[in-house]
Amino acid sequence: MTSGILNVNKPAGPSSFGVVRSVRRLPGVLKAGHGGTLDPAADGVLPILVNLATRLADFIHEWPKTYLASVTFGITSDTGDREGSLVPSGDVSRVSRDRIEALLPSFTGSIAQVPPLYSALKQGGEALYRKARRGEVVERRPRLVEIHAISLVDYDPTTATGRLEVSSGRGMYVRSLAHDLGAALGCGAYLSGLTRTAVGPMTLADAVAMATLTEAGETWTRWLLPMDLPLRGWPVIALDAAGAAAIRRGQTVDAPSAASGRCRVLDADGHLLAWGEVDINRRLQPRAVFPS
């Protein structure tokens, strides 16, 4: 079974799941999932995990993400982006590059952020946007998110729009960041454009268009990245034939004395066999085994 990760350049318009459905129609694809939702209005890097690689989705989510965000001040949106109803919300005459830059340090590090009402975040087993569309009043509690770095690329006073480069951890909503920045400036704001330029080692410069994959037919696999890419940098445990056979059966094996925590497990030929964790008894516990 052909397995790996695709670095897809998602266009604005389709949902992330729409891109996944297109990948599922490629020859030889039995399963596919994405490594971090991009809103329909956003474009850029969308990791797609194919076949056995879907078991590694959690580790894709751990990668930092980088965005180029356009934030327009003086207007708010009920969805937080240009997909919603836009309403004038304040005077932008005092908004300036200096004022924006002065506020950015307060939005770095570990910050509390309220997720957008129109989001795929689930509450009570149902996505918030479904509740919002029914007109339900939903209490959204702030969540801690991590913003590693944020900088103002430029600011155009004629349109009251700034472009921000933002690097963050999982679960951060750029729409919420735009809203909160507008609130801090006292004029409101919404996310008028968003491009994800990187997810971990995957960059926009190396991303492939969905149309290119579709037109490639059987040769689409030329853009497939190694399945173990999210595990690179982990400690490696290489097993002999007997140890590999035990892991394939889901059994534990003795771990090398230096091993700890999560590990990439290889068979005697150096192929990815599994990922696992070393427990306090120095036993390697397989968490996901990949058939050869």
**Residue among 52, 21, 20 at smallest CA distance from 36:** 20
Which residues are CB-neighbours of 73 under 8 A, at least 6 positions away? 90, 92, 95, 160, 161, 162, 182, 185, 187, 188, 189
**Residue among 191, 147, 145 at smallest CA distance from 171:** 145
Q: What residue type is 229 in one-letter code?
A: L
Tokens describing residue 36: 């971090």
How crowded is residue 99: how many other Cβ atoms within 10 Å of its Cβ? 13
Q: What is the CA radius of gyration of the chain?
A: 22
Q: What residue type is 112 in one-letter code?
A: A
Tokens describing residue 58: 């959690």
* 39 in active site: yes
Spatial contact of 51 and 29, defined as CB atoms under 8 Å apart: yes
**Residue among 125, 135, 190, 202 at smallest CA distance from 160:** 190
Query: In whole angstroms, what is the distance from residue 44 CA to residue 13 CA?
Result: 12
| Beta-bridge partners for 198 | 66, 203
Q: From the candidates 39, 81, 228, 267, which is the catalytic residue?
A: 39
The tokens 């173990």 sit on which residue? 228
Q: What are phi and psi of 77, to 5 degrees?
A: -135, 140
Tokens describing residue 155: 């600011």
CA distances from 240 to 76, 234, 236, 272 (A): 61, 19, 13, 13
Just list the catalytic residues.
39
